[in-house]
Amino acid sequence: MFAVQRQVQKVHSGPATMVTTRPALASFAALALLTSCSVASLFDAPPSKVIAVTPPRVVETAPVGDTMRSSALAILSASRNAAPQWTAQHNPDAAWLTLAATGGTAPDTLRLTLDPKDLTPGIYRDTIAIDPSDPGIATVRVPVELHILASAPPPPPPPPPNQPPVASFTFSCNGLGCDFTSTSSDPDGTVAGYSWTFGDGGTSPARNPSHTYSADGSYPVRLTVTDNQGAQSTPTSQTVTVSAVPPPPPPPPPPNQPPVASFTFSCNGLGCDFTSTSSDPDGTVASYSWTFGDGGTSPARNPSHT
């Protein structure tokens, strides 16, 4: 009988590694009754090439409804001065995990992007497989976990308190009738309602009402407005004075003043040129009528006649 002892490598926490090995000699003990024994190489030796991935396991935590965010980087490092090509892939059904790049040359950096916004509370797992092109290096597998918490995001801050509207108006009257125009405003919204009282028992909800009084006198008119959030203004008041006798008409314009005719002339032989120097004290000269004493006439301003 004989016993064979094997050396076993301990698995440590830290960077995940991929190794290739070469055969090594085994140690054994043989009983005295065996005269000879030939043992082939049975076990692995230290690695000849290594690709390490840091961190070896990615764990992220996010609340329900969170928006997309980038996770930690996976750093790929190569030993023995190697620069192997690599490609990466993962479960296509894991829609919450995407890779910014799926290939390159080690050493390299692989960015993972996690999208937890549409997931329900729970733990979601996937594995990224990094395959080197070098046949001497095995595939690296990096576990990824996404923990979705049930806690809801904090509520938004409350809105500022509503500011009340400000009531104001103008008016114009003719006889017993008056037209009112609201010039009210609201600092943080819109004016939604109007309440008029006209001082004689009459009221109106219109924005710009008209009102006719039954008798001469002075009446207190009050306007209160309400904004789109229900806040009410402080009432504003003005006194309106009406009379059944209309105001006197404006005075007539002064009578029109007649124009003043005048002219100059110059003659050469039988031909003469005439120039009007006429004017009008309250308007303009609009037309001309010349007679030349020999039966000839002209409507021109500055005529010539032979």
Query: pLDDT tens across 107-127, in order?
Result: 888 888 888 888 888 999 999
Q: How many other β-carbons are positioned within 10 Å of the β-carbon of residue 289?
A: 9
Where is pLDDT greater, at 215 or 150? 215
Q: Which residues, in sequence order, are CB contacts of 35 under 8 Å at separation 6+?
A: none
Where is pLDDT greater, at 65 or 16? 65
Q: What is the DSSP letter of 158?
A: P
- Coil, strand or helix at 162: coil
User: Quick one: tokens of 255?
Assistant: 């009578």
Say which CATH architecture domain 51-149 belongs to. Sandwich (2.60)
Q: What percent of the chain has pLDDT over 90?
A: 48
Confidence band, pLDDT 50/70/90 cuts, at residue 63: confident
**pLDDT value at 140 more than 70:** yes
CA distance 140 to 145: 16
The boundaries of every CATH 2.60.40.10 domain in the chain are 51-149, 169-242
pLDDT at res. 223 = 98
Confidence band, pLDDT 50/70/90 cuts, at residue 51: confident
Which has the minimum average pLDDT: 117-121, 151-155, 296-300? 151-155
Confidence band, pLDDT 50/70/90 cuts, at residue 21: very low
What is the fold of 169-242? Immunoglobulin-like (2.60.40)
User: Quick one: tokens of 55?
Assistant: 């961190």
Q: Is the whole model's pTM more than 0.75, yes or no?
A: no
Where is pLDDT greater, at 52 or 283? 283
* Amino acid found at 246: P
Under 8 Å between Cβ of 212 and 179? no
CA distance 227 to 188: 9
pLDDT at res. 152 = 64
Cis upstream peptide for 107 (omega within 30°): yes
Alpha-carbon separation of residue 283 from 121, 232, 257, 289 (angstroms): 92, 58, 8, 18
Residues in a beta bridge with 176: none
